[in-house]
Amino acid sequence: MRAVIVAIGVAFLVSLFGTPLAIKVFTRLKAGQPIRAEGPQMHQGKKGTPTMGGVVFILATVIAYVAGHLALTTLPDAQIAQVEPTITALVLLGLMVFSGAVGFIDDFLKVRKRHSGGLSARGKLLGQILVGALFGVIALYFPSTMTDSSGAVTNTETVGSTTLSFIRDIPALDVSKIGAVIIFIFVVMAATNGVNLTDGLDGLATGASVMVLGAYAVIAFWQYRHWCADPAYTANPNNYCYAVRDPLEIALIAGAAAGACVGFLWWNTSPARIFMGDTGALGLGGLIAGMAMSTRTVLLLPIIGGLFVIITMSVVIQIISFKTTGKRVFRMSPLQHHFELAGWSEVNIVVRFWIIAGIGVAIALGLFYSDFLANMG
C-alpha cells in the first residue's frame, strides 16, 4: 500500500507543478487548439488554448511508477511485492505512451495546419490497431516466471487471458490466443475512442478518468491482497483468490495515473488553461483498456466506463439515424454538445456527467465485491 500511495503522491505533484510549465512551453510554441467551425459557437472563445497537455500526466505516471518501485525496495517481502519491473508494467505503460504518441501526431498536425483536421480517421485507426496488436501479443505470449524461495514456479499467468472475463475469467468462453489478441485490439480501439469522444468540455474526460482509474486501483489492490500467487494467503484452501499477473503493479500504475490526472485537472477544469488533446485522451484510453485486460474484468469495463459508453453510443446513434432517415436524434453529438445547445452551462454538464461516471464506477465496484463475498461464502 505504501508504494501505491507514494506513486499517487509523486504523480500528483509532478502533474500539478509540471502543467504550468507545459502551458508556458506550448504557448510559446504556439501549440494552440484549433476549434471546429461546425462545433458549438461558444467554443470559439477557447481557440488558441494550449493543447497536448496529456504529455504532462503521461510523463508524471511514468515518473511515479519509478518512484513507487523505489518504495517497494523497502518492503519486507520482495517476492510478493514484485520489486523488479514486469511485463505487466511494460504493457500498461506501453499502451499509455504509444496510444498517446498516436494522439500526439494528431495534435501536432492540427497545430501545424492550424486546422481541427489532424491525422486522418484511417491513420488514427491504423495506429490504434498497431498499438493494440503489439501489446496484445506481449500480453498473451509472455507468461510470468515468478518463483518461491525453493525455486518452484508459483505464477505462470500472462498479462491478458485467453478467456473472456467479467469479474474474473469465464473458463467456458475460451477464445484462443489469437482471438484474445483480436479482442485486445478491439478493447484498445473502443477505450481510446470512448475517452477521446468524451474529451469535449473542460475537465470532463479528466475527471471521469480519475474515477475509472481509481476504481481499477481499488480492484487491483484487492486482487493483490487475495492473490493466488501469495503462498501466505493460499495456505488456507478456503480463501478465494484471483489468478492474475502482478496486481500490485496494476494498482500502482492505476493509482499513479489517477493522481496525475487530478494534478492536471487543477489547470484543466473550466475555464481550462490547457487541453489534454488527443495525446492525453488516447493515452488514457489505452491505459484503461490495459487495466480491463490485466485485471480480467473486460466485460465489466462498459460499466466502470459507463459514461464513455453512453457518449460513444450517442455518436453511433446519431450517425445511424442520419444515414438511414436523414434526421438527427440529438442537436449535436457527442452527447455533451447536445446539452450545450439545449442551454445547459458547461460546468453543469461536466458535474452531472461526472455523477453519471461515478454511478457506473460504484455499480462496478459493488458487483466486484459482491462476487468476492459470494465466492468466500
The Cα diameter of the chain in Å comes to 69
Lookup: cell for 52: 497536448
Task: Establish whether 199 is an annotated binding residue.
Answer: no
Residue whose entry in the numeric block shows the C-alpha cell 492474475 = 244
Contact status, residue 168 vs residue 371, Cβ threshold 8 Å? yes
DSSP letter for 294, please.
H
Contact status, residue 214 vs residue 7, Cβ threshold 8 Å? no
Q: How far is CA 141 from CA 84, 154, 258, in A?
A: 19, 18, 28
Distance of CA 286 to the CA centre of its chain: 6
Distance of CA 330 to the CA centre of its chain: 27
Contact status, residue 50 vs residue 27, Cβ threshold 8 Å? yes
Task: Establish whether 107 is an annotated binding residue.
Answer: no
Contact status, residue 297 vs residue 304, Cβ threshold 8 Å? yes
Q: Which residues does the annotation place in the binding site for Mg(2+)?
A: 196, 278
Q: Which residues does the annotation place in the binding site?
A: 196, 278
